[in-house]
Structure formats: structure tokens, C-alpha cells
């Protein structure tokens, strides 16, 4: 259902356009009236905050989604604001609406449509002040597409009530077949090499399934892989030394967990006889990890060479079904009829539109239950093609196309314009646009930008065993070794390692460093929490890595690390951090006694200097460690990048050994100039370091 307010507001907005008769330069729609800045048409939406909430409670599709996307803190602020407006404590003399709808006309290569989004009033207009709004540049969560229904629409509604309906089965086969036959980018899988995983499940044609050792029993065709959540592990259905003879002999299909039975059904429908499931193809004995360690090093091959990956996107455990029953109306796009002027008939005609949420793919795939697991990320990236069995529909993902039951021929271009879509693409041409998100403006090579995007998403995922942080992405690292032609260094790359050391922990949530060692402090893999990989270019770095050394848990140098250090040469500065206000990032810096005061007001919404600790601030005793905190300028900054410093604490003064504890961003030119001029006075005692030469210190960072 779409409420009357949304209907009326969209009608008012689209009345600024007409359907052109001649369609000059391919324009289906042409404006009737002048538009505002950036081609936007703004119309008042709900007059009050309670109006939107009431409409959402009555199940308006648009209002419900807008309400859902507003952060709880902003909802509380809006409750207070509109209560004060209602009681006259805050005047709204000009009658500002609580919400405004902003319409844009968009052209794509093979379609034309409208997008609309919302802005939310937070300060009413007065005689001497313009109104202010929450989040002027609202995220995609608030955005919608208004798509004219034509002869070949992107959306194809369904009436099927199961995610494995006859139509869904036909779709799955057609997606796989078309990809195998026509998609060049999806042909990284080298099935003609004859390589197979160590073990596979032979599905045969009987009611039994048996485990085979591929060195002894050569498979006669392709194999599929499975992505799933383990949940509460049933020990009867994991491979171990006790279960091995029975699995080799064969077990009844009916005795297997529901999820595995369903995946076997899918594999057979795709004409695939062999299946790889981690829990049944890797020994899971807790007292002997030898096989697990060996197989973990093969993940890049296991998934890259698979025919198709079957992802149980919504199943919480192996006991749950792969397929779901659904109400078709819950997945079909909403329709809306609006009147629009047509040059063809010289009057107004009713036109039908579909309404799509712009974050369709994020909700259906990126945020799917199984995709919150860190191990799953590389499974999803490396497999040439993935069938996602979601809660409400079947989705498809390969290197060249993302599709779904309601978008069987590919996503609408507006839905595809996100850094979380085309996630499997390894296209190294710089034409990815929004697919790279905030990385797109970087000067880095395309392969490095893709790596950054992967690490950003990877660190958002959950990992059950802290020690697996590097192991769980080692398969992706192996793929990128060939793309970058570079040496992998604990989550980063040797060629421009200086610039990559400038990663930072996201300001969302605390960072944690687990008690189990897994990486040196200079690697993002040493902490838990969302990471912003460095986008700083190597050109402009003011320190140099003289040497780097890592010790590995196994022969696999993309896997687990047991120890590591690097020799870093630059200008070391004794540093004090002095908190000056409540803002979590607001500190005065004192570098060698020279004060760099925090700016009294934020610079473009950011504090300068802006301090970000790698782990929670409470774990850094910065106030009581006289002579123990140091910094080194990593990058001087330029017109596109802020200056960046690394923060260290000394571990061994005699040997000049340090640990990294955070980063500092400096945005203001006068602060940058002051920092670049700071040097330690000759009469002061020497700083702890491994070597001091030509005005620069060499330190060991562990």
C-alpha cells in the first residue's frame, strides 16, 4: 500500500514533466518547468512527524521504510522537536513540513526513470534563518526508484510461493547456463585443468551419498560448493576420524540434515554430481588440525574451480531448510498510477510506475544472515557464480550480472549503483563508478581499490575464532597476488606498504586486540573492528620501510602469522595527547614541546587534529605515560588528502621497539606547516630507536 500523502506528493513532483513526442536525444521525459539545483524538484511531504509515523503504522510501503531507516537517536530528537512545536515552545511560523520529497530524473543507457529521496526538518525556518534538515545528503537507505512500466520492464512480478518453485528452478538453470556459455569474466575457473578438492561428496543417482578421495576416485564432471552457517554442530554430520569410514561407504540421503538434503537437490537439478561441503570434506577433529590447516590453504582453488556456489543465505544452521515459503506480494515491487502530460495525445494520461527501494541488494544479499560471516566473504568472491537462497527470493551473483527472481534479467541500473553491488567483479578498468564507494576518488591502481573494498567489507563481518583473521581471507589474497603481482604482507602489499600502514579503525564501535596473537600491531589484522584501508598514495609518504619480517604458522604465506616486525625510518617525535573537550577525537597535540591545539570548530565536520585509537581509548593510558607515546608523520598530505601521523608506544627503549596504537589526521594548513617544522632539540636526551642517522630515526615496530 502507498498512502495518499506519498501519492499526492509524487503526483505533484512528476507534474513538472511531460512524455515527449519526439524524444529529442533519447529523452523520454522532458521538464515542463524550471527545476532547482542539480535537477531536483522538491515537494513537501508529511506536514508533521506524527503524520509519517501514522502512515507507517498503516503499512505505507514508502513511509514504513523511511521510518525504519531513521536512527533511534534522530527519532527521539524528532519526538522532542515536534512536541515543542505542538506546544508553541518552538515556533513554526512558516509552516515547514516535517519531510520533503526530492525528485530527480535519471537517464541510463537502456532505461530512463525517476529517483526520489527525503530530507527531514530539524530546525524550522525563522525570519532570519533558513530551515535546517537532518542529513542533507541522505543515504541510499532513504532512496527509491520510480520506474515507468513499459514493454520490457526490469521487474517481473511473481505469484510463486516458494523460493524453489518451478519458475525459480528454471531461472537458476538459465542463469548458470547463460553465465557458463557467455560470460568471459566468469571464466577464471579452470575446470579443464583437472584439479579437484581433496575430497568430494558423490551424489550419484541413488538415495545414498558417499565421500570420495579424489586422488583415488577421479570425478567425472564439475563440482558445486556450499556456503552455510554451522549453527549448533551435529557431531554425526561432520567429518572426523570416527565418521570417515561410514562416509566413505555411503550414508542414506534421508539421514542428512535438512539443509544438506536441499543443497543436494539443487546440485542435481543443475546436473552436478559432486558437492563440496566444508564440514563433510575437511576433517574437523579438535585434537588434530593438520588436515584443516592444509585444506584452509586450498580455499582459493576450492571455490575458484567450482561450477557454482550454493549459498544458504537465510538458514541459521544445517537443520534448517534451504528453501523458504513466502508471500509473493512481499517481494513484488509496488505499483503506482500517476497522471502525466503526453505530447502524443496533447493531454494528461495515467501512467503506471513500479516503486523500488534503492538498497534492494543490500537488504537481500549483503545483509543476509550468512554473509555476516568473515569466512563467507572469500567464498562469495572466489566462486565464479553464486545462487543465494534468501529469505524471500532466489538471487544470482556472478562477475558480470546480479539478478533476482523479480529482476531476472539483471538489476535495474539505479539498484546496481552501489559499492555493495557487482561485488564479484574483478574488472580492472577504472569504470566501476559507485561500485567502489568512497574509494573511487583515490589515485590507487584499480586492483588495489578492489582490495580495499574487500578489506573494508571483510572487517565488518563476524569471526568465531579470533586466530582465523588472516586465514579466512587467504584465498582472496592468493587471487590478488596474481592480479597485483606483489608480495603479500599480513593483509597488505609490499610495493606501497608505507602508504598502506596509514589504515585506520572506523570510528563506529570500539576496536579490540584479542589476547591470541595473530598479526603485528602495524597490520589491520591485529585488531577486531571495521577498518578503513588506506587510500593515501605512496607519493608523499615521509617514512620508509627498510625491512619487514614475518613468521608463519604454516608454509602458506597468505595464512596465519605467529610473529612479525618492520624497520621504519622517519622523524620520530615525542608526543603528548591532551584531551580538550568531550568529542572523542578532540585532542591537543604536544610534539617535542610544540603545541598543536585542536581547532575550536570542526573542519568540514571533522576535528583537526583528529585522533583515532586502534583499540578502545580506555586501553591507552595516554595521560600517564610521560615519555612513552611517540608519533611519526606518515604522509604530508595534499589538496586531496589530510596529513596523517602514526601513533606508537615504546615497548623496549634499549632496542627501539614500538607498538602502533593509532593515527592522527590533520586537516588545517597552518597545523600541517607547524608539524612539518618540528624537530627534537639537540640538547634533549636521544629518543629510543634502533638507529639515528641524518636527522631520522629507525624504529622496530612489532
How far apart CA 243 and CA 303 sit, in angstroms, is 25
Phi, psi of 677 (to 5 degrees): -90, -10
Q: What pLDDT sits at residue 430? A: 44
Instruction: Kindly state whether residues 490 and 398 are assigned to the same domain.
Output: no
3 state DSSP class of 700: strand
Segment among 24-38, 212-226, 420-434, 565-579 with least mean pLDDT: 420-434
Q: What is the mean pLDDT of residues 414-425?
A: 74
Would you say 627 and 525 are in contact if contact means Cβ atoms under 8 Å apart? no
159 occurs within a structural domain: no
609 occurs within a structural domain: yes
Instruction: Kindly state whether residues 183 and 258 are assigned to the same domain.
Output: yes
How far apart CA 82 and CA 100 sit, in angstroms, is 16
Instruction: Kindly state whether residues 118 and 253 are assigned to the same domain.
Output: no
Domains of the chain: total: 3
Instruction: Kindly state whether residues 279 and 391 are assigned to the same domain.
Output: yes
Nearest residue to 295 via CA among 305, 306, 286, 284: 284
575 occurs within a structural domain: yes
Q: Report pLDDT digits (tens) over 519-570.
A: 999 999 999 989 999 999 999 999 999 999 999 999 999 999 999 999 999 9
* Residues 477-497 as b or e (16 or more Cβ within 10 Å = b): bbbbbeebebebbbbbbebbb
Q: What is the mean pLDDT of residues 371-393?
A: 92
Segment among 10-14, 121-125, 542-546, 667-671 with least mean pLDDT: 121-125
Q: Report pLDDT digits (tens) over 447-469.
A: 888 899 899 999 999 888 888 99
How far apart CA 188 and CA 584 sit, in angstroms, is 46
Nearest residue to 500 via CA among 469, 474, 525, 529: 525
Q: What pLDDT sits at residue 433? A: 46
Q: What is the mean pLDDT of residues 582-593?
A: 80
450 occurs within a structural domain: no
| β pairing state of 610-613 and 629-635 | unpaired
Q: Report pLDDT digits (tens) over 437-449.
A: 545 555 677 888 8
Q: Report pLDDT digits (tens) over 616-633.
A: 766 566 555 566 899 999
Q: What pLDDT sits at residue 472? A: 94
| β pairing state of 274-276 and 208-213 | unpaired
pLDDT over threshold 60, residue 428: no
147 occurs within a structural domain: no
Q: Report pLDDT digits (tens) over 179-198.
A: 999 988 887 655 456 899 99
448 occurs within a structural domain: no
224 occurs within a structural domain: yes
Which of 107, 142, 177 is the endpoint of a domain? 142
Q: What pLDDT sits at residue 512? A: 85
pLDDT over threshold 70, residue 350: yes
pLDDT over threshold 50, residue 96: yes
Domain region containing 597: 486-702
Instruction: Kindly state whether residues 137 and 176 are assigned to the same domain.
Output: no
Stated pTM of the model: 0.86
673 occurs within a structural domain: yes
Q: Report pLDDT digits (tens) over 529-541.
A: 899 999 999 999 9
Amino acid at each position: 500500500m502507498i498512502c495518499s500523502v506519498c501519492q499526492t506528493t509524487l503526483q505533484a513532483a512528476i507534474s513538472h514533466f511531460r512524455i515527449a513526442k519526439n524524444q529529442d536525444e533519447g529523452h523520454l521525459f522532458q521538464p515542463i518547468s524550471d527545476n532547482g539545483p542539480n535537477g531536483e524538484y522538491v515537494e513537501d511531504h508529511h506536514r508533521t512527524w506524527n503524520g509519517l509515523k501514522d502512515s507507517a503504522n498503516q503499512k505505507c510501503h514508502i513511509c514504513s521504510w523511511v521510518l525504519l531507516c531513521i536512527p533511534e537517536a534522530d527519532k527521539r530528537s524528532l519526538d522532542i522537536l515536534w512536541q515543542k512545536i505542538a506546544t508553541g515552545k518552538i515556533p513554526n511560523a512558516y509552516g515547514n513540513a516535517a519531510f520533503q520529497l526530492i525528485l530527480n530524473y535519471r537517464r541510463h543507457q537502456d532505461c530512463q526513470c525517476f529517483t526520489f529521496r527525503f530530507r527531514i526538518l530539524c530546525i524550522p525556518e525563522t525570519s532570519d534563518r533558513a530551515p535546517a534538515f537532518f542529513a542533507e545528503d541522505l543515504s541510499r537507505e532513504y532512496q527509491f526508484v520510480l520506474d515507468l512500466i513499459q514493454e520490457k520492464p526490469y521487474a517481473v512480478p511473481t505469484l510463486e510461493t516458494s523460493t524453489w518453485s518451478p519458475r525459480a528452478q528454471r531461472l537458476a538453470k538459465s542463469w548458470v547456463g547463460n553465465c557458463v556459455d557467455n560470460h568471459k569474466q566468469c571464466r577464471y575457473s579452470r575446470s579443464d585443468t583437472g584439479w579437484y578438492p581433496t575430497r568430494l561428496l558423490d551424489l550419484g543417482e541413488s538415495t545414498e551419498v558417499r565421500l570420495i578421495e579424489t586422488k583415488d576416485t577421479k570425478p567425472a564432471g564439475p563440482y558445486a560448493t556450499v556456503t552455510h552457517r554451522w549453527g549448533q554442530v551435529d557431531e554425526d554430520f561432520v567429518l572426523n576420524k570416527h565418521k570417515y569410514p561410514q562416509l566413505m561407504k555411503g550414508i542414506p540421503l534421508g539421514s542428512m540434515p535438512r539443509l544438506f538434503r536441499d543443497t543436494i537437490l539443487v546440485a542435481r537439478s543443475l546436473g552436478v554430481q559432486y558437492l563440496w561441503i566444508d564440514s563433510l570434506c575437511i576433517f574437523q577433529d579438535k585434537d588434530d588440525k593438520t588436515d584443516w590447516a592444509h585444506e584452509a590453504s586450498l580455499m582459493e582453488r576450492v571455490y575458484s574451480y567450482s561450477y557454482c556456489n550454493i549459498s544458504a543465505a537465510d538458514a541459521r544452521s544445517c537443520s534448517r531448510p534451504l528453501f523458504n515459503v513466502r508471500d509473493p506480494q512481499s517481494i513484488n515491487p509496488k505499483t503506482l498510477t500517476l497522471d502525466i502530460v503526453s505530447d502524443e495525445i496533447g493531454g494528461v494520461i495515467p501512467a503506471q510506475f513500479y516503486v523500488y527501494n534503492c538498497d534492494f541488494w543490500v537488504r537481500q544479499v549483503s545483509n543476509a544472515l550468512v554473509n555476516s560471516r568473515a569466512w563467507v566473504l572469500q567464498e562469495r568472491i572466489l566462486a565464479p557464480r553464486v545462487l543465494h537462497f534468501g529469505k524471500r527470493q532466489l538471487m544470482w551473483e556472478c562477475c558480470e550480472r546480479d539478478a533476482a527472481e523479480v529482476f531476472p534479467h539483471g538489476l535495474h541500473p539505479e539498484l546496481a549503483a552501489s559499492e555493495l553491488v557487482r561485488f564479484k567483479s574483478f574488472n580492472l578498468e577504472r569504470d566501476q563508478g559507485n561500485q567502489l564507494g568512497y574509494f573511487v576518488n583515490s589515485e590507487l591502481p584499480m586492483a588495489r581499490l578492489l582490495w580495499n573494498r574487500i578489506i573494508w567489507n571483510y572487517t565488518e563481518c563476524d569471526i568465531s575464532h579470533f586466530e582465523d583473521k588472516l586465514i579466512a581471507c587467504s584465498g582472496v589474497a592468493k587471487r590478488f597476488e596474481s592480479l597485483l603481482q606483489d608480495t603479500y604482507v599480513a593483509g597488505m602489499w609490499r610495493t606501497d606498504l608505507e602508504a598502506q600502514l596509514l589504515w585506520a579503525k572506523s570510528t563506529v564501535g570500539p576496536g579490540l586486540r584479542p589476547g591470541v596473537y595473530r598479526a603485528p600491531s602495524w597490520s589491520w589484522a591485529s585488531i577486531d573492528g571495521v577498518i578503513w584501508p588506506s587510500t593515501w598514495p605512496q607519493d608523499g609518504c615521509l617514512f620508509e620501510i627498510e625491512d619487514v619480517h614475518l613468521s608463519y604458522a604454516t608454509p602458506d604465506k597468505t595464512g596465519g602469522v605467529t610473529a612479525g616486525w618492520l624497520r621504519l625510518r622517519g622523524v620520530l617525535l615525542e608526543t603528548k595527547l591532551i584531551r580538550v573537550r568531550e568529542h572523542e577525537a578532540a585532542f591537543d597535540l604536544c610534539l617535542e614541546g610544540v603545541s598543536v591545539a585542536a581547532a575550536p570548530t570542526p573542519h568540514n565536520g571533522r576535528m583537526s587534529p583528529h585522533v583515532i585509537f586502534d583499540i578502545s581509548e580506555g586501553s591507552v593510558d595516554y595521560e600517564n605515560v610521560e615519555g612513552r607515546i611517540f608519533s611519526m608523520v606518515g604522509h604530508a598530505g595534499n589538496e586531496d588528502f589530510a596529513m596523517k601521523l602514526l601513533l606508537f608506544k615504546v615497548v623496549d627503549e634499549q632496542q627501539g621497539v614500538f607498538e602502533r596504537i593509532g593515527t592522527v589526521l590533520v586537516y588545517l594548513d597552518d597545523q600541517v606547516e607547524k608539524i612539518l617544522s618540528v624537530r627534537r632539540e639537540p640538547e634533549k636526551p636521544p629518543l629510543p630507536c634502533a638507529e639515528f642517522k641524518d636527522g631520522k630515526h629507525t624504529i622496530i615496530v612489532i
